[in-house]
Amino acid sequence: MLAFNKNFIFVDEPILTTFIDKRLENIRVVKNNSVLLSHVFRLQSPWVTMTGRKVRYYTNIPFEEQINIDFWALEIEDVLTLIWDENTHTITYIEGRLHTAKLLQFWVLHTFFPLVLELSNIYHVLHVSAVQIKEKTILFSAFSGGGKSTLTDFFIQKGHVVYGDDTIAINDANNQYEVIASYPFHRPYREPEVLGYPIENFGTKIQPLSHIYRLERSDKKAKVNIVELHGIEKFEVIYQSMFVTFESMKKERYLFATKMAKQAKVFVLSVPWDRERLEEVYQAILIHNTV
């Protein structure tokens, strides 16, 4: 399976390994129920809630004392534990009593590997969706329930290439920001621990970022409006869209958002809260991307 420009090879769940691109790096996902976390890691965090589950982290050095975190684990209570080893590019997992192949796939692609990318300083991950209009790759940012998935679903129905339904990775290539597609699934209605249905027209080629739209919910009868943001408002959209919430990475997130805000074009898109007007919103975005 292709995700985040990597091949994910689920060694013990071959049904999840659908396609391999020999040009890309392999991430092996391997079961090992004999691992004892207490023998591998010295430190663990308190339980916190993530995606409706209690989770905690394991490491040998406090996160705030590390520059690149290349060996750590995430335990999802009663479901599974995932261990990342950057030296071997391997995710080892320990099954919990509620473990299933689908939950393994969800936690690896939706949560764990995006954290790996951030903690290892490989890419920055944004909590946005991404679609392509002709040769332009655009991002949709929104607070929870802000219509991001609904609008992305509309673009899918129109046949557009999609690079991510919920997250994408960003590569900073000498101030030229590139979009790396996440995983080829879409869920128009947010069900916990579900990736959704496969996206047939999924983009895998790394593309330059065109610009970002922050979706802003408006009255049903309001005008569809697109306004460019500047200065601190641009920064806030990017900063609030970032995936990682570790306190130890606050400085890095701030610096990245500041730098990106100087280069990226960011717009507020006022979206009337009426599904019957999605076509109107869609056409406004198309026109905006032909100017």
User: What percent of the chain lies above the pLDDT cut of 90?
Assistant: 78
Crossing angle of helices 148-157 and 278-288, rounded to 10°: 80
User: What is the model's pLDDT at position 291?
Assistant: 67
Average pLDDT over residues 186-204: 88
Query: Residue 64, by phi and psi: left (phi above 0), alpha (psi -120 to 50) or beta?
Result: alpha
- The single residue listed with the structure tokens 């991430």 is 27
- The single residue listed with the structure tokens 């996902």 is 29
User: What is the model's pLDDT at position 215?
Assistant: 96
Nearest alpha carbon to residue 194 among 202, 181, 185: 185
Average pLDDT over residues 35-42: 95
* Average pLDDT of the chain, as a whole number: 92
Q: Confidence class of residue 178 from pLDDT cuts 50, 70 and 90?
A: very high
- DSSP 8-state assignment for residue 285: H
Average pLDDT over residues 71-98: 97
User: What is the model's pLDDT at position 175?
Assistant: 75
Q: Confidence class of residue 64 from pLDDT cuts 50, 70 and 90?
A: confident
> Which domains does the chain carry?
2-122 (no CATH), 126-288 (3.40.50.300)
Q: Confidence class of residue 99 from pLDDT cuts 50, 70 and 90?
A: very high
Average pLDDT over residues 123-132: 95
Min mean pLDDT across 63-67, 72-76, 79-83, 229-233 is at 63-67
Q: Confidence class of residue 208 from pLDDT cuts 50, 70 and 90?
A: very high
- The C-alpha angle 210, 149, 164, rounded to 5 degrees, equals 50
Name the H helices within the chain: 37-40, 101-106, 113-119, 148-157, 232-240, 250-261, 278-288
User: What percent of the chain lies above the pLDDT cut of 70?
Assistant: 99
Span 84-93, pLDDT tens digits: 999 999 999 9
